[in-house]
Structure 1
Amino acid sequence: MGIFSPVEGVPTKWTKKALIEHVKTGMQVELGTLPIYFCALYSIKRDNGGWGSKARANILAVAEQEMLHLALAGNMLAALGGTQPLYDKLFIPTYPSEILFEKIEMALRPANKENLECFLKIEAPYMPPPKLEVAEDVEYSIQLLPGYNGIGEFYRELQHGIYEVSATDRDLFSSNHDKQFRGEEFFGEKMTVVVDTKTALQALETIVDQGEGSIGVPDSHYSIFVQLYQRRKEWTCIDYVNEPHTADYKGKSEVAYRLSLAVDATFCYLLQTLDRCWAEGQPAKRTQLFRNIHRLMVEILSPVAHALVEQVIDGGRHAAPCFEFYPPGSDGKPLDPKGLFEGLVAEVQRAYNAATGPEHQGTREAIGKIKFCLTGLAPSL
């Protein structure tokens, strides 16, 4: 597969190929937000129902909706007859980087003032933001690229492209209806199976409304992050190392290194499982794949990441999850499902073996529970 290149702006003429490339770019945008939101979520210390707990719940809700948006864009791509593996070294985001179109820094950081400002920039509607009801305003001005002024504008231009191409192509969304994510499998009534122009536009409307929404929409991601920004001093965050990379933990903490590899492997196995859903039409196999998606998110990724962020690296700072391509140091060739799952199991076992001594007792117990939860997650091919 060639290197994926995100689109830079509105095409001179909309074609089916241009639609496919724009939808792929949309998938990369949605995928790129997941690690930064997860990383912020895992940094917030638990406080038994206080504002820290509320912040964690709100950021988790946003991340889950980004998963929905990724699935909706993937459904649209499938209906167009296009393909784009998520488990692809050239497609998985790397950090720090800049989000498409706006040159907004995306980094793996805690849920602090600086990072919440970045989240506001990412989700902001393209219009002057409202004055916040706190003494200190958000300190940013969006530097926009010439292609698009924001993510919402990108999706609205995609909407125009759909209208234009579908006017002369009635079979535009005629592919893979049986291999798309369905409501009974994922996200209920919020999910849309794309079969025609109407359902494609419905999917886009969900993405835009839940994301940037419009000023004053209380449940949009932008409004949620405004509320969190106003309360940002009411929770405590773990202090992460700067610009975390899994390889940097090697030689500093074997437990952190192996747990970080386990996070990477879990993230990639999750993406590969999503990929397999868009390729599988057999109902029984699809049911198992979607069960695995839920279990990977709840029983593996979250507890492994929480165990990781408890590990102190140097200078009193803690390890952060990196969400990198697995296996590391390879030529970028993806593993098959069996090999990837075996790699995940091996990394969890190595982390367990490394967690010796009284200082790692809690970590070892947490990893032991994760080992048990891996049962039944092996791929059924």
Structure 2
Amino acid sequence: MSTDNQVKTREDLLYLLSQAAELEHSLACQYLFTAFSLKESTNEGVSQAQLNKINRWRRTIINGIAVEEMLHLALASNLLTAIGGAPYFRRANFPQAKTYTSLKLSFKLAPFNETTLNRYICFELPNNFDTEEQKASWNQFCQRIKDEELLRLLAALPQPLVPRKLEYNTIGELYELIHQGFQTIGQKLFIGPFEAQATGIFKEMIQVKDLDSAIKAIDLIIMQGEGSPAQRDDSHFAKFTKIREEYLAELQNDPNFQPARPVIENPLLSLQQDNTTPGANIITDTLSRDVVEIFVALYEIMLQILLRFFAHTEENEEQMYVLKSAFINLMPFGVSPLAKAITQLPASDKFPGMNAGPSFEVYADVQLLPQMSSAWIFFQERLKEIAQACDALINDFRTQSYPQLRQALTEVSATLKNIAHTISLKPNGGTWTNGISQLFSPMDIAHMKPRGPILDDYNDVKNSADEILRQVCSKNMPPRFPEGVWTDARINLFKKWKDNSFPQ
């Protein structure tokens, strides 16, 4: 490594960790968009055997890759906090080429296809392989990807006025620079308050207090992402290459196989100031625009809640639990059903036969709301407003032709109302309606529904109260991850409700 491209100061590390956080956030959005574009039914022109593969690919991309990118964003946030910085959730709107010139790969929202998989494989390209032949082959493969049309456009764009002082060609190289910086500067880096870092959400979450824990966090990101220093079957690179192999094999068997819906690339409600790269497609269908607007608002409030969780100030243990639970439930029971529904709606008369997609649009930087009281009031107000928008569309005549959309909106509305009730600075009441029912998150309810008890049913919870109390007191339920076991405040509230003869 050239001495001109080494990390020597705290400022260098803060810059690179912010770059890493932005990359991880952007990758997660791209991977989720691709997963949401996949078909969900044999009614969409695929066989049951093909649908089984598609469902497996979706689970791998969402649970096995995108969720880990969010873990990497969380780890980068803790690393930033540990050395005196702050969590960094900023990212540019899609599409972007110029913003990410160090990687020389375009960042865009695209449906599932071979071209998209090729780009993702190159994002996650390891720095090391088992043999030099493998390394040369994959490097040549990714060089071809980088030379395609969109990246030829990149070469024609103006060069930045201020050159980047630290360059990297792969995400692996970026983390190698960060690793080197921590090793070089050493223990004096760690000036941030340890208690300000986030815990929970992810099983592998690491709090960074010294050089050893910082290196452990960086190594985890590298191993999960690119699989360095040796190839790993559970790395993102390996997972994407396996999906690509299976996809190409299925195309050999059935040349007409189309696993994804006809979703437009880079959908937007409107061009933003940072849309400097051609390729954005404006959604003009009025119903689709209304649904995507709800999605954008939901995505934004989810990020603001997550940022508050990472940069908390006065929140106590129970309030931290509420923030964590809110974020964890907003993704599978808010963002995901809405995004899938959007990919079945028309995009625009300009794109006949093409569907819209979730834009992951940001209208401004995601800012921390610094005052706890006003932040929580804002969260509650915003969640209720988005739920009301869902209810309005459910009753809109335009959604009559889209029963899956109405179902998604109904599910999302119920989730938002549940979470809005829990995000309150006022103590939970002691009745089922005001306090007890809100102890059970959408994830809790979905997890227990097949076996019982039905946690959103008063009588079922009342009749199972002894067993529920036994489980939560023994810390067996809920599972430690992602939401975590109940706090003492939650247990005491439920016990008091039981002792008071279950007021409704």
Matches within 5 A, 1:114-263: 114-126=115-127, 130=134, 140-142=144-146, 147-166=167-186, 169=188, 172-182=189-199, 185-188=200-203, 190-214=204-228, 216-233=231-248, 234=250, 236-247=259-270, 252-263=284-295
CA distance in 2, matches of 1:264, 1:361: 21
Matches within 5 A, 1:278-357: 278-280=310-312, 281-313=315-347, 314=349, 315-325=352-362, 337-338=378-379, 340-354=382-396, 356=398
Identity among equivalent pairs (%): 25
Larger Rg: 2
For structure 1, list consecutive stretches of 5 or more residues without a partner in the other structure.
1-8
Alignment partner of 1:372 is 2:414: yes
Aligned AA (1:82): G
Aligned AA (2:108): A
From the superposition, tell whether residues 249 and 340 of structure 1 become closer, same or farther in structure 2 (CA, over 3 Å): farther
- Match of 1:94, SS? coil
CA distance in 1, matches of 2:307, 2:23: 17
Moved more, 366-375 or 302-311: 366-375
CA distance in 2, matches of 1:305, 1:217: 31
Aligned AA (1:266): L
Q: Is the 8 A contact 2:111 2:265 kept in 1?
A: no
- Match of 2:301, SS? helix
CA distance in 1, matches of 2:393, 2:196: 37
Aligned AA (1:208): I
Q: In the alignment, what sits opposite 1:76? A: 79
Tell me by how many angstroms 1:246 deviates: 2.0
Tell me by how many angstroms 1:309 deviates: 0.8
Q: Is the 8 A contact 1:213 1:220 kept in 2?
A: yes
Aligned AA (2:412): I
Moved more, 277-286 or 201-210: 277-286
Q: Deviations over 1:203-239 (max 9, x none)?
A: 0000001011136311110011111111224461011
- Match of 2:27, SS? helix
CA distance in 2, matches of 1:375, 1:255: 23
Alignment partner of 1:53 is 2:55: yes
- CA RMSD between the two structures: 3.0
From the superposition, tell whether residues 285 and 72 of structure 1 become closer, same or farther in structure 2 (CA, over 3 Å): same
Tell me by how many angstroms 1:350 deviates: 4.2
Moved more, 345-354 or 268-277: 345-354
Q: Is the 8 A contact 1:355 1:361 kept in 2?
A: no
Q: TM-score, normalised by structure 2?
A: 0.65
Tell me by how many angstroms 1:331 deviates: 10
Aligned AA (1:324): E
CA distance in 2, matches of 1:131, 1:111: 26
CA distance in 1, matches of 2:96, 2:231: 29
From the superposition, tell whether residues 350 and 333 of structure 1 become closer, same or farther in structure 2 (CA, over 3 Å): farther
For structure 2, list consecutive stretches of 5 or more residues without a partner in the other structure.
42-47, 152-163, 251-257, 271-280, 370-374, 426-504
Q: In the alignment, what sits opposite 2:404? A: 362
Moved more, 207-216 or 301-310: 207-216
Q: In the alignment, what sits opposite 1:105? A: 106
Aligned AA (1:154): L
CA distance in 2, matches of 1:241, 1:34: 18
Q: Is the 8 A contact 1:254 1:351 kept in 2?
A: no
CA distance in 1, matches of 2:386, 2:192: 34
CA distance in 2, matches of 1:354, 1:130: 56
Tell me by how many angstroms 1:138 deviates: 7.4
From the superposition, tell whether residues 207 and 54 of structure 1 become closer, same or farther in structure 2 (CA, over 3 Å): same
Q: Is the 8 A contact 2:304 2:368 kept in 1?
A: no
Tell me by how many angstroms 1:369 deviates: 2.2
Q: In the alignment, what sits opposite 1:3? A: none
Higher RCO structure (Cα 8 Å, ≥6 apart): 1
Q: Is the 8 A contact 1:355 1:363 kept in 2?
A: no
Q: TM-score, normalised by structure 1?
A: 0.84
Q: Deviations over 1:70-119 (max 9, x none)?
A: 00000111111211452xxxx23311113451220121111101100110
Aligned AA (2:26): G
Alignment partner of 1:66 is 2:100: no
CA distance in 1, matches of 2:6, 2:176: 16
Tell me by how many angstroms 1:361 deviates: 3.0
Q: In the alignment, what sits opposite 1:28? A: 22
From the superposition, tell whether residues 291 and 310 of structure 1 become closer, same or farther in structure 2 (CA, over 3 Å): same
Tell me by how many angstroms 1:283 deviates: 1.2
Aligned AA (1:222): F
From the superposition, tell whether residues 32 and 138 of structure 1 become closer, same or farther in structure 2 (CA, over 3 Å): closer
- Match of 1:217, SS? coil
CA distance in 2, matches of 1:358, 1:148: 51
- Match of 2:144, SS? coil
Query: Any runs of at least 4 consecutive aligned residues in structure 1 with deviations exceeding 4 A, and if so which?
Result: 9-13, 141-146, 330-336
